[in-house]
């Protein structure tokens, strides 16, 4: 009898331990999943709160387009685009970046610096991320650097800046992006600035839905855009707005463009 009792104790202990182990194997992974879901939930809520603050802050910085404000932008770009070659393109990028900054317009500009020969140049873009389809992008694009088109490019760049300021904090389901890209330059790998910009979008898994070129882009620029963004293969829509050389005409064009974006189906 004693031997039987002494043997039964370890068996019961083993059975209990086995149950505990089995319970742990079930509970711990389940708990890990719950914690993972909770952590993601906290992260998502925090992200949404940060985005809400960003949108609210940008909305407070929003300014209507006016002839005075647009004329100032155009005047600045006219001066910058006539600087010596070594200063011209970097100065445009610096002005676009600083003017669209979080302190001035509420954006977080992205500046992609690279060397073309010995000169440092940059692609600059800024956006309001989509609330639902962040990777689907509507692009407002200015390609600049043609010395024969200083006036047209000044109005295109000035118009883009005024439009961006007027749309700061505007929310849509897809992403609205503004970009200034220099022409006639290539990075060390031999890619043109526009190709480099399109490559960056592809690397981020983004899909270009529509690109609107400002400043009356010529046939060569349109061909470069089609090639860089593979618009024939992807079905992205490309439109080129006519160049404007008077502030009143530029304001009218940007006002119409803003209205088109606001009325576009989301």
**Whole-angstrom distance, CA of residue 152 vs CA of residue 155:** 5
User: Maximum Cα–Cα distance for the chain, whole Å?
Assistant: 110
Mean pLDDT of the chain: 85
Q: Give the domain ranges of the chain.
A: 1-61, 65-263
**Whole-angstrom distance, CA of residue 188 vs CA of residue 196:** 11
Distance from the Cα of residue 229 to its chain's centroid:
15
pLDDT of residue 21: 52
Per-residue pLDDT of 113-163, as tens digits, reads 999 999 999 999 999 988 889 899 999 999 999 999 999 999 999 999 999
CATH level 3 topology of 65-263: Aminopeptidase (3.40.630)
pLDDT of residue 161: 98
Indicate the pTM of the whole model: 0.79
- Where do runs of H (alpha helix) occur along 2-144? 2-61, 67-80, 85-99
């Amino acid at each position: 009898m004693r031997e039987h009792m002494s043997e039964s104790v370890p068996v019961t202990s083993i059975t209990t331990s086995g149950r505990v182990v089995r319970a742990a194997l079930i509970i711990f992974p389940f708990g890990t999943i719950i914690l993972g879901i909770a952590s993601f939930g906290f992260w998502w809520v925090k992200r949404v709160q940060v985005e809400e603050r960003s949108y609210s802050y940008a909305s407070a910085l929003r300014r209507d387009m006016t002839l005075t404000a647009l004329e100032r932008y155009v005047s600045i770009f006219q001066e910058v685009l006539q600087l010596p070659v070594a200063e011209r393109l970097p100065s445009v990028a610096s002005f676009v970046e600083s003017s669209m900054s979080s302190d001035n317009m509420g954006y977080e500009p992205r500046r992609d610096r690279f060397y073309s020969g010995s000169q440092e140049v940059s692609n600059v873009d800024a956006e309001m991320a989509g609330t639902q389809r962040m990777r689907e992008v509507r692009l407002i694009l200015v390609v600049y650097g043609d010395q024969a088109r200083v006036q047209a490019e000044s109005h295109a760049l000035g118009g883009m800046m005024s439009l961006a300021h007027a749309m700061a904090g505007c929310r849509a389901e897809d992403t609205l992006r503004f970009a200034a890209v220099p022409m006639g330059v290539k990075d060390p790998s031999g890619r043109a600035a526009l190709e480099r910009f399109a490559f960056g979008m592809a690397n981020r898994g983004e899909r270009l839905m529509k690109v609107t070129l400002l400043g009356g882009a010529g046939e060569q620029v349109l061909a470069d855009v089609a090639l860089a963004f593979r618009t024939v293969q992807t079905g992205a829509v490309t439109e080129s707005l006519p160049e404007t050389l008077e502030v009143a005409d530029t304001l009218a064009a940007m006002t119409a463009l803003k209205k088109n974006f606001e009325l576009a189906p989301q």
